[in-house]
């Protein structure tokens, strides 16, 4: 007896709904995308109880005539695809013809629609996929009301979360659609309260401002890039505007919100060396790609895409964001480069001198003396034994000398220049654990790149014959053991092996917290730091220097 049966259409739609309609926010997404495809300029979304009771999406788009209004609930009914070749040249948000039949099979729907030119419109009511009623109803544009989602699939209904959680997902969905469709106005009302209202805008910049506010936008940098078949406008973290969560990260491909690990990774990579541990950049990437070079038909809810050449897309993103980050860092570094060099020709007066000037001296004399004292006798001061305060042009710079030194050495190690590696007159020995010993010998070449010549001395002992200058006083066992644990742990996803190793070793060779630098060393450190590629953060992401402009100080003293 045959075992195989063709499933009835109703069950087929329910199965399709399982893939596309996960929760109320999925319905909101599908309906909004239909409104977008219909050329709307105003989309209004109303929800009750986080969309569990009601979702209504109304638009001022092209609408449907009577025939289409009845056909749109059939499976695989679409106006957006005609032939197979269209599948690789998709310019609309929808194309599968699955959303409406899926939604209709698991809810109660009321559709009211009409084309603009016609006086006639139609209202259609459907429950569980079956048409219950049709009526004439003059209207222009389309309104689709979805009630009691999953009323006929209790098992799915059980999985719905609290009203607050479902609403959160709906807001997230509307936000994403609104971000990439700035020429459309969006309004979202939840339980009759206005939750979001963004009128149509001129572009992504204005849209980000409408949604998140001006201050948020000021914390971002804009970058534009273009190459054959690929174009991007992006807004990414400026300065140290990093977040503790990944919540402000958006990728849009041809205006579709998608998730893509490799593209995210390309952005993280652009912040390498300045991104503190456990912090995340903000990014909004609006990528436009030739539709022939991307396949949108990968994920039922279209959350993922497949690129013809993913690597080149990632490279493009990394380059554009990386250049923007670098440009901003260079601008920032300029103000430090202008730090006046300490004037050694002047004797150092008693540091209390400027402040003991008689208060009744003529104004000009006082200010002149104070100014001299500020520049010449106080090129820097130590605050505690780690922080150095330096007067720079137009403000005050605080430097963590340990972190600064780490940054300088890290970059020296990475580039392998100015390491001044010397053969030791008395080679040093280090006894290691068995694991450390074998991994160090396996990776001897990597250490050699850093000017460390280490050889097998038998019995789990390594002999070190040359060392770079900066490591000559370091605890060599500590260095090797730390290097070994880095080799054993493997590389963190946003760093290369060489970078991880350089960061570990730079930490050992840096000035320890207790060492107080003299005038010459401080000047050299400031100059060396200014030369580095990322002067503001140590390789572990801690700040190396913090700058207060006179303006900042004025604000702090409430003079502004
Ligand atoms: P798809 O969007 O993949 O074509 P849907 O099931 O979402 O499939 O919609 C089916 C069809 O119904 C669409 O192709 C479109 O012609 C029509 N339609 C749906 N929503 C609207 C709307 N808001 N305005 C005008 N036409 C619509
Ligand atoms: Mg659709």
Average pLDDT over residues 174-195: 96
- What does the pLDDT read at residue 334? 62
Ligand number with the minimum distance to the CA of 62: 1
Average pLDDT over residues 461-489: 81
Average pLDDT over residues 341-361: 36
**pLDDT band at 335, cuts 50/70/90?**
low
- What does the pLDDT read at residue 261? 93
- What does the pLDDT read at residue 68? 96
Question: Out of 238-247, 338-347, 387-396, 472-481, which region has the weakest mean confidence (pLDDT)?
Answer: 338-347
Whether the per-residue pLDDT at 30 is higher than 50: the answer is yes
- What does the pLDDT read at residue 425? 76
Please tell me the residue having the least CA distance from ligand 1 atom 19.
34
Please tell me the residue having the least CA distance from ligand 1 atom 8.
97
- What does the pLDDT read at residue 361? 32
Top-confidence residue, 91 or 381:
91
Structure tokens at 550: 């006179």
Atom of ligand 1 nearest to the CA of 92: 2
Whether the per-residue pLDDT at 502 is higher than 90: the answer is no
150: left (phi over 0), alpha (psi -120 to 50) or beta: left
Distance 61 CA to ligand 2 centre (A): 14
Top-confidence residue, 405 or 235:
235
- What does the pLDDT read at residue 25? 97
The CB of 78 under 6 Å from ligand 1? The reply is yes
Whether the per-residue pLDDT at 222 is higher than 80: the answer is yes
Top-confidence residue, 282 or 529:
282
Average pLDDT over residues 191-198: 93
Please tell me the residue having the least CA distance from ligand 1 atom 20.
34
Average pLDDT over residues 514-542: 78
Top-confidence residue, 191 or 492:
191
- What does the pLDDT read at residue 492? 62
**In whole numbers, what is the pLDDT of the chain averaged over residues?**
84
Residues of the chain above pLDDT 90, percent: 44
443: left (phi over 0), alpha (psi -120 to 50) or beta: alpha
Beta-strand pair 141-147/54-59: antiparallel
Q: How far apart are CA 510 and CA 506, in angstroms?
A: 6
- What does the pLDDT read at residue 418? 66
- What does the pLDDT read at residue 491? 61
Distance 198 CA to ligand 1 centre (A): 24
Top-confidence residue, 108 or 553:
108
Ligand number with the minimum distance to the CA of 78: 1
- What does the pLDDT read at residue 494? 62
pTM across the whole model: 0.66
Dihedral angle computed from the Cα positions of residues 242, 248, 253 and 258, in that order, rounded to the nearest 10 degrees: 120
Burial of 426 (0-12, 13-18, 19+ CB in 10 A): exposed
- What does the pLDDT read at residue 461? 84
**pLDDT band at 350, cuts 50/70/90?**
very low
- Residues facing 43 on adjacent strands: 59, 186
Atom of ligand 1 nearest to the CA of 100: 6
Distance 92 CA to ligand 2 centre (A): 9
- What does the pLDDT read at residue 515? 66
Q: How far apart are CA 316 and CA 193, in angstroms?
A: 42
Burial of 547 (0-12, 13-18, 19+ CB in 10 A): middle
The residue with tokens 């010449």 is 376
Q: How far apart are CA 176 and CA 521, in angstroms?
A: 51
Burial of 188 (0-12, 13-18, 19+ CB in 10 A): buried
Distance 406 CA to ligand 1 centre (A): 59
Average pLDDT over residues 19-40: 95
200 alpha-carbon distance from chain centroid: 25
The residue with tokens 């709307």 is 40
Whether the per-residue pLDDT at 354 is higher than 70: the answer is no
The CB of 177 under 6 Å from ligand 1? The reply is no
DSSP code of 375? I
Distance 29 CA to ligand 2 centre (A): 9
Q: What is the pLDDT of residues 481-500, one digit of tens each?
A: 888 888 877 666 666 778 88
Residue among 242, 251, 245, 320 at smallest CA distance from 284: 251
DSSP code of 8? P
- What does the pLDDT read at residue 336? 54
Q: How far apart are CA 338 and CA 530, in angstroms?
A: 10
Q: What is the DSSP string of 12-40?
A: HHHHHHHHH-SSHHHHHHHHHHHHHHTT-
Task: Note whether 23 and 168 are within 8 A (CB).
Answer: no
Residue among 49, 33, 50, 256 at smallest CA distance from 142: 33
Q: What is the pLDDT of residues 427-443, one digit of tens each?
A: 888 887 777 888 888 88
Q: What is the pLDDT of residues 127-157, one digit of tens each?
A: 988 999 999 998 899 999 999 999 999 989 9
Whether the per-residue pLDDT at 533 is higher than 60: the answer is yes
The CB of 24 under 6 Å from ligand 1? The reply is no
Task: Note whether 529 and 535 are within 8 A (CB).
Answer: yes
- What does the pLDDT read at residue 123? 97
Whether the per-residue pLDDT at 172 is higher than 70: the answer is yes
The CB of 256 under 6 Å from ligand 1? The reply is no
Whether the per-residue pLDDT at 376 is higher than 60: the answer is no
Q: What is the pLDDT of residues 385-408, one digit of tens each?
A: 788 888 766 788 888 888 888 888
Average pLDDT over residues 25-43: 97
| Measured CA distances, 521 to 349, 511, 534 (Å) | 20, 11, 20
Top-confidence residue, 459 or 281:
281
Atom of ligand 1 nearest to the CA of 102: 6
| Measured CA distances, 63 to 44, 126, 145, 147 (Å) | 15, 18, 15, 21
């Amino acid at each position: 007896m045959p075992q195989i049966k063709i499933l009835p259409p109703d069950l087929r739609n329910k199965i399709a709904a399982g893939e596309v309609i996960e929760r109320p926010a999925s319905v909101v997404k599908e309906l909004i995308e239909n409104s977008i495809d219909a050329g709307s300029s105003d989309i209004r979304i109303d929800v009750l109880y986080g969309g569990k009771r009601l979702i209504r999406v109304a638009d001022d788009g092209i609408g449907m005539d009577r025939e289409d209004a009845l056909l749109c609930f059939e499976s695989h009914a679409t106006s957006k695809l005609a032939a197979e070749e269209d599948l690789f040249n998709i310019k609309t948000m929808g194309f599968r013809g699955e959303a409406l039949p899926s939604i209709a099979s698991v809810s109660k729907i009321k559709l009211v629609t009409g084309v603009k030119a016609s006086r006639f419109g139609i209202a259609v009511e459907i429950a569980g996929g079956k048409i219950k009623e049709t009526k004439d109803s003059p209207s222009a544009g389309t309104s689709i009301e979805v009630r009691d989602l999953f009323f006929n699939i209790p098992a799915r209904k059980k999985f719905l979360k609290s009203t607050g959680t479902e609403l959160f997902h709906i807001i997230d969905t509307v936000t994403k659609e609104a971000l990439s469709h700035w020429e459309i106005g969006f309004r979202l009302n939840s339980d009759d309260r206005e939750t979001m209202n963004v009128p149509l805008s001129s572009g992504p910049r204005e849209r980000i401002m409408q949604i998140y506010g001006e201050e948020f936008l000021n914390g971002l940098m804009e970058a534009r890039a273009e190459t054959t078949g690929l174009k991007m406008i992006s807004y990414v973290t400026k300065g140290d505007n990093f977040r503790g969560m990944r919540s402000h990260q958006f990728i849009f491909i041809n205006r579709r919100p998608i998730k893509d690990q490799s593209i995210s990774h390309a952005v993280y990579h652009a912040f390498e060396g300045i991104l503190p541990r456990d912090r995340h950049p903000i990014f909004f990437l609006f990528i436009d790609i030739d539709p022939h070079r991307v396949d949108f038909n990968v994920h039922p809810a279209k959350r993922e895409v497949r690129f013809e050449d993913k690597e080149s897309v990632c490279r493009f993103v990394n380059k554009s964001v990386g250049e923007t980050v670098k440009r901003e860092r260079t601008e920032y570094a300029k103000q430090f480069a202008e730090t006046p060099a300490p004037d050694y020709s002047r004797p150092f007066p008693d540091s209390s001198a400027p402040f003991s000037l008689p208060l009744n001296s003529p104004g000009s004399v006082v200010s002149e003396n104070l100014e001299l004292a500020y520049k010449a006798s106080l090129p820097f001061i130590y605050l505690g034994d780690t922080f150095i305060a330096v007067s720079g042009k137009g403000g005050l710079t605080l430097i963590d000398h340990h972190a600064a030194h780490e940054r300088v050495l890290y970059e020296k190690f990475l580039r392998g220049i100015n390491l001044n590696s010397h053969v030791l007159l008395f080679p040093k020995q280090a006894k290691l654990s068995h694991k450390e010993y074998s991994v160090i010998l396996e990776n001897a070449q990597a250490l050699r790149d850093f000017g460390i010549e280490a050889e097998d001395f038998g019995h789990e002992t390594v002999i070190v014959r040359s060392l770079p200058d900066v490591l000559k006083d370091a605890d060599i066992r500590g260095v090797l053991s730390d290097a070994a644990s880095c080799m054993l742990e493997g590389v963190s996803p946003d760093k290369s092996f060489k970078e991880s190793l350089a960061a570990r070793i730079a930490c050992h060779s840096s000035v320890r917290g207790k060492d107080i630098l003299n005038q010459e060393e401080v000047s050299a450190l400031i100059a060396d730091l200014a030369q580095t590629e990322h002067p503001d953060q140590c390789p572990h992401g801690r700040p190396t220097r913090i700058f207060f402009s006179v303006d900042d100080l004025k604000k702090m003293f409430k003079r502004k």
